[in-house]
Amino acid sequence: MGLGDMFGFGNKEKTVFRVPREVTALRIRIDGEEKENFPSLSRYKEMQQDARAVNELLSDIIRKKEHAESALKIREELKKKMDALALRINTNIREGRKENIPDYVENKIDYLQRKHTRDDAKTLFMELLEGSEEFKKLCSEGRSGDGGAITLVVARLCKTISALNNDFFKEHGGDREIGELKADTLKKVSELDTFCEENKARFEEQGLKATIASNVQSLRDAARALSEK
């Protein structure tokens, strides 16, 4: 006799197994939590209590043998789902601790607001990068008549730097990612400064030396404002 026959698992179930309503209710709650980006720790703890009651119910069915195989499958299914939720919650908590966000899971709205702020700052920073490349291209390929275009690009760069500073660096400077963007902004302005210093002779030949020097000073002034309180 095999183990399945010994415990009644090998026998074909004679009647249709009706899933207990407690199981259905728990499944619905688990499914709902699985759809959340940040499953709730408090709701998970509540589900654990329900899961224990459901587990006892299923264990009783298994002991009675008639629908043991179905009950065992459901018990294993629910265990896997609960374990997967616990893993996601614990991962979220660890990530939150890395970012020094207290009660990460329970304050997921606050986290999402932080993430939205970071994304907005990154979008603005990308505009800074694009404008920087446009500035370098105009300086490298331009002629004396292109001074106006260079000045317009630098004006946009200064406006972007100011927006980053006023909307993000001053307000959210304590956030690690925002702080990194501030450092990257200063680094980018420094790179543009170096680029212009290294190409002074070329700019003079193009008739753009004075225009570029004036605009680089505007960038320096914009960057200097980042360190002001």
Return the SS3 of 49.
helix
User: So what's the pLDDT on residue 103?
Assistant: 53
Q: What would the mean pLDDT of 76-91 be, rounded to a whole number?
A: 90
Q: Is 4 a member of any domain?
A: no
CA 141 to chain centre: 39
Best-predicted range by mean pLDDT among 18-22, 91-95, 108-112?
18-22
* Exposure string over 206-223, b if 16+ CB within 10 A, otherwise e: bebbebbeebbeebeebb
Tell me: do 127 and 67 sit in the same domain.
Answer: no
Asked whether residue 15 is assigned to any structural domain, the reply reads yes
User: What is the average pLDDT across 72-90?
Assistant: 91
pLDDT over 80 (residue 98): no
Q: Would residue 153 count as lying in a domain?
A: yes
Is the distance from CB of 93 to CB of 105 less than 8 angstroms?
yes
Query: Is there a single domain that holds both residue 17 and residue 118?
Result: no
pLDDT at 97: 60
Phi-psi region of 38 (alpha: psi -120 to 50; beta: other; left: phi over 0): beta
Residues 51 and 124 in one domain: no
Query: What 3-state class would DSSP assign to 44?
Result: helix
Average pLDDT for 11-30: 78
- Cβ of 161: how many Cβ atoms within 10 Å? 26
Say if residue 87 is in the same domain as residue 141: no
Together in a domain, 128 and 214: yes
Q: Indicate if 138 and 216 belong to the same structural domain.
A: yes
Query: Could you report the per-residue pLDDT of 112-139, keeping only the tens digit for each?
Result: 677 788 888 999 999 999 999 999 999 9
Supply the range of the domain harboring residue 72.
Answer: 11-98
Q: Is residue 229 a part of any domain in this protein?
A: no
Q: Name the domain count of the chain.
A: 2
**Distance (Å, rounded) from C-alpha 199 to C-alpha 215?**
14
Q: Please check the confidence at residue 2 and state whether its pLDDT lies above 70.
A: no
- Round to whole Å and give the CA distance between 49 and 43: 10
Residue 211: both structure tokens together: 């225009």
Crossing angle for the helix pair 176-198 and 209-224, to the nearest 10 degrees: 160
Verify that 71 and 126 share a domain, yes or no: no
Mark whether 202 and 126 lie in a shared domain.
yes
